[in-house]
């Protein structure tokens, strides 16, 4: 293999490492987002479990910025988002079921992303070692070359 081929091979390895690094960072960001969503679903499930046992009770509803308004429980239905700012009214039990299903889907996605992240990190480690070894050999060969 010529010296220029070896240089191109090392450059290609470095470019691949950079691409892997970007992919790893993207998956880490996706995992963080999924984890936050799972936590949000856990809070919603916990709230709905308490709510289903209430009847004609007074509650405080957070509206943001540390502000709460008083409300009275009436009926056993609530609204749930079905996407694109669309909502549907369902019985509490159905909402709990939907939240559990959504949470399960998020947990499955979290598992897949974690597996993908592990594989990418493993590939990065292996390729990094290979590029370092190729570069070391390249430098050794260049050091052994004598001027004519």
CATH number, domain containing residue 8? 1.10.287
Q: Residue ranges of the chain with pLDDT lower than 70?
A: 144-148
Does the residue 29 lie in any domain? yes
| Full domain range(s) for residue 108 | 3-39+77-143
Q: Phi first, then psi: give them for residue 146, nearest 5 degrees.
A: -100, 145
Measured over the CA atoms of residue 119, residue 122, residue 124 and residue 130, the dihedral's sign is: negative
Q: How many residues does the chain have?
A: 148
Does the residue 136 lie in any domain? yes
pLDDT for the residue numbered 65: 94
pTM for the whole thing? 0.80
Domain count of the fold of the chain: 1
Does the residue 10 lie in any domain? yes
Does the residue 53 lie in any domain? no
pLDDT one-digit tens code per residue, 6-41: 899 999 999 999 999 999 999 999 999 999 999 999
Does the residue 13 lie in any domain? yes
């Amino acid at each position: 293999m010529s010296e220029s081929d070896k240089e191109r091979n090392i450059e290609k390895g470095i470019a691949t490492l950079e691409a892997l690094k970007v992919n790893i960072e993207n998956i880490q960001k996706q995992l963080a987002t999924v984890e936050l969503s799972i936590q949000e679903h856990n809070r919603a499930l916990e709230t709905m479990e308490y709510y289903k046992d209430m009847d004609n009770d007074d509650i405080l509803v957070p509206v943001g910025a540390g502000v709460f308004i008083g409300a009275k429980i009436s009926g056993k239905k609530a609204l749930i988002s079905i996407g694109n700012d669309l909502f549907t009214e369902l019985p509490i039990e159905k909402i709990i079921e939907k939240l559990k299903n959504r949470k399960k889907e998020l947990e499955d996605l979290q598992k897949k992303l974690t597996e993908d992240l592990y594989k990418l990190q493993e590939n990065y480690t292996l390729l990094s070692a290979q590029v370092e070894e190729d570069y070391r050999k390249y430098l050794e060969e260049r050091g052994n070359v004598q001027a004519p």
